[in-house]
Amino acid sequence: MKLELGKIQIKDVQKASESKVENGTLYINEEEIKEIVLADDHIVKCEVEIAKPGESTRITPIKDVIEPRCKVEGDCEIFPGVISKVDRVGEGRTHALKGCAVATVGKIVGFQEGIVDMQGPGAELTPFSKLINICLVVEPAEGIKPHQYEQAVREAGFKVALYLGKLGKEVEPDEVVTYETKPLLDQIAEYPELPKVGYVYMLQTQGLLHDTYVYGTDAKHIVPSILYPTEVMDGAIVSGNCVSACDKNTTYHHLNNPVIEDLYARHGKDINFVGVIITNEAVYLNDKKRSSDWTAKLCRYLGLDGAIVTQEGFGNPDTDLIMNAKKIAGQGVKTVIVTDEYAGRDGASQSLADADPSADAVVTGGNANEVIVLPPMDRIIGTLDYVDTVAGGFDGSLRENGEIEVEIQAITGATNEMGFNKRTARGV
C-alpha cells in the first residue's frame, strides 16, 4: 500500500461564523460543532473551549485526543467501522491538520482519565501541551450507563475530528510525505540484503472501558493479525479505553505512532520494515497463551530478523509483554520491548509485574510513580472534581492554593509506551 500524507500546519485556532482553514489558521463554528456532539441524546451539554500552548490553562479530565484528518480521494473515510463504513484504508491521499487536536473532556466513570497543563512542569511531560487543543467539554444525560456515555463521547470526538479534517480537503499541504509497504515477497526482494524488521503492536483490551478498536471491532475479539503500517495512519486503530493516563494510547498516538514513523524513516537504509502485527492484551491465561503463540508464529512466518514490541498499560499486561518477548526471541528473532515502569515513588521497586531473561533489550518511558507538584492555573477546562481520585492522585492531591500533587501517572502521555514522550532511563 502507498499512502500520501499531506500535512497542513495549523498555527492558530479561532472561533468564527464559518469553519475553514485559511493561511494556517483553523476557524471553527462553535454552534456547528455543538450540533454534531448533541446529535447523540446520551450527551445533554457541550461547551467548546480552545487551549493554546503556553497559556495558564489546565485541561482535566481528558478522555481522548484525536488529530483532525480526512481522506482526499475515493469514497472511503477516516476511522473505518467506527463512524464511517467499513472500508480498507491506508492508501491514496490523506490530509492531516498538524499542530492541533480535538480533546474530549468530561465526567469520568472510573478513575483513569488524565490532566494536561498548557504551561509549567506538567506541560513538559505531555506532548499535548504543544498542540492547540479544541476541547469538547460534555455532560452525560441522567441515568445512562457508563459504557453508553463513554461510547457517545468517543464517537463525538471522532465526528468532530473528521468534520474539522474535511476543512483541509482542498487545502494545499505544507508538506506531503509518502509511505509505502509492498506485498511481502516484493518487499523482501526490494532490499534482500537488509535485516527484516517488524513491529508487534500490543493493544489494550482488558475488559469494559479498557478497549481498543480495529476497523470498528473490539480488539479483545481478534487473534493476532497483520496490518499494513499505513492503515494505522488512516484511523484503522482507535482508542476506547480508560487506562492510566500516562501510558494510555489515545487515538492521536495511534494516528501518529512514532515507532511506525521511525521504522519508515530507516526503511531501505539500514532495515527492511516489512509490516505490523497487532495483538491484544488478554485477561485470562489461556487467551494470553493463544495470542502470544500466534504473535510469535506470525513473526516467524514473516521471516523477521528483528521485532519491536510496544505495550499499553501495566500490571496484568506485563505478562502479555513478557510472553510475547520470550516466544518471539525463541523463534530466533532479535527482540526489543518498549514499556514504562511502576517502580514506586523512590524508584526502588520491581519495574514490571513479570520478567524473563530473554527480555534483555528494553526501552522505558519512565517511572509513572514519580511525584510532581503542578502549580495553580488561571483557567480550568473541565473540572477539578476528580483530581483526588484519578489514577496517580490521592486524598489531598488538590491543595487549597490550587496546586496539585500527583504521580505523573495522572498526566496524559507522560510515560507513553510507544516512546511518544520525553522521559526514559539508561543503564550505566
310 CB-near residues (< 8 Å, 6+ apart) = 199, 200, 201, 202, 259, 337, 338, 339, 417, 418, 419
What pLDDT, on a 0 to 100 scale, did the predictor assign at position 63?
92
pLDDT tens column, 250-266:
999 999 999 999 999 99
Q: Using omega within 30 degrees of 0 as the cis cutoff, is the peptide bond preceding 357 cis?
A: no
Is the Cα torsion angle 248, 330, 263, 237 positive or negative in sign?
negative
Cα distance between residue 63 and residue 104, in whole Å: 5
- Grid cell, residue 222, equals 481478534
CB 341 within 8 A of CB 366: yes
Question: Pairing between strand 196-204 and 306-310?
Answer: parallel
Q: Which helix (H) or strand (E) holds 255?
A: helix 251-255
**Domain locations in the chain?**
2-410
Cα distance between residue 310 and residue 301, in whole Å: 20
Among residues 249, 227, 247, the alpha carbon closest in space to that of 239 is found at 249
The yes-or-no answer on residue 70 being catalytic is no
**CA 53 from centroid of its chain's CA atoms:** 20
Cα distance between residue 17 and residue 19, in whole Å: 7
Cα distance between residue 268 and residue 33, in whole Å: 43
Cα distance between residue 132 and residue 101, in whole Å: 6
- Grid cell, residue 258, equals 512514532
Among residues 64, 61, 243, the alpha carbon closest in space to that of 157 is found at 64
What pLDDT, on a 0 to 100 scale, did the predictor assign at position 391?
84
Among residues 261, 198, 235, 267, the alpha carbon closest in space to that of 419 is found at 261
Q: Work out the burial of residue 426: count CB atoms within 10 Å of its CB; fewer than 13 is exposed, 13-18 middle, 19 or more buried.
A: exposed
Across-strand partners of 6?
Answer: 95, 176
- Grid cell, residue 343, equals 517502580
What pLDDT, on a 0 to 100 scale, did the predictor assign at position 337?
96
Q: Pick the catalytic residue: 70, 100, 242, 246?
A: 242
**CA 15 from centroid of its chain's CA atoms:** 27
Cα distance between residue 428 and residue 426, in whole Å: 6
DSSP annotation of 195: P
Q: Amino acid identity, residue 196?
A: K
What is the rounded radius of gyration, in angstroms, for the C-alpha atoms of the chain?
21
Strand stretches in 350-427, DSSP E: 362-367, 371-374, 379-382, 404-407
Residues in the chain, pLDDT under 70: 75, 108-112, 427-428
What pLDDT, on a 0 to 100 scale, did the predictor assign at position 112?
67
What pLDDT, on a 0 to 100 scale, did the predictor assign at position 350?
87
